[in-house]
Amino acid sequence: MNKHFTEIEVSSLEDIKEKLAKNKADNKSWFVFRGQTDSAWEPKTSLDRFLKCIIDKENQFKVEPYLLEEFQRRYLNYSHKIPEKYNRIEWWSLMQHYGAPTRLLDWTYSIYVAVFFCTRRFRKNKREERSSRVGD
């Protein structure tokens, strides 16, 4: 378990509601959630995972600017609402939304959104334990 997160194991939606109510009663009502299929996974960005696949380690630092420039160039063909060129956070948000690798990590204030991402790969024929990381 990561020292920055509290891991809460749950088995049902009612279990989630009970644990959240208990934390709220204990005056710990502010949470951000990250739903992921396996709690053993370290929180890594899609860019981190993408760069891990690049063999030429010396040139990894060139990849992110290239991806951003290429996305900006192509995005002009698909939208009339274009962020300012140097507003990287807005560009990274768009890239993240469309599935491009970015340095952003998805978090949510909604436990239900986290549960969706935690269980979206659930297979009926192969039951696996699911867990969600909770940052407090």
Identify the CA nearest to 130 among candidates 122, 5, 50, 13: 122
pLDDT attached to residue 126: 47
pLDDT attached to residue 89: 94
- From the number of C-beta atoms within 10 Å of its C-beta (0-12, 13-18, 19+), residue 68 rates as middle
pLDDT attached to residue 29: 59
Per-residue pLDDT tens digits for 113-125: 888 887 776 644 3
Identify the CA nearest to 72 among candidates 101, 99, 49, 95: 95
Contacts of 76 (CB under 8 A, 6+ apart): 82
Distances in Å between the alpha carbon of 96 and those of 27, 33, 93, 104?
33, 18, 5, 7
pLDDT attached to residue 39: 73
Task: Give me the tens of pLDDT residue by residue for the chain, a chain 136 residues long.
Answer: 456 666 777 778 888 888 778 777 666 656 788 877 777 778 889 999 898 888 777 888 899 999 999 999 999 898 889 999 999 999 999 999 999 999 999 888 888 888 888 777 664 434 444 444 555 4
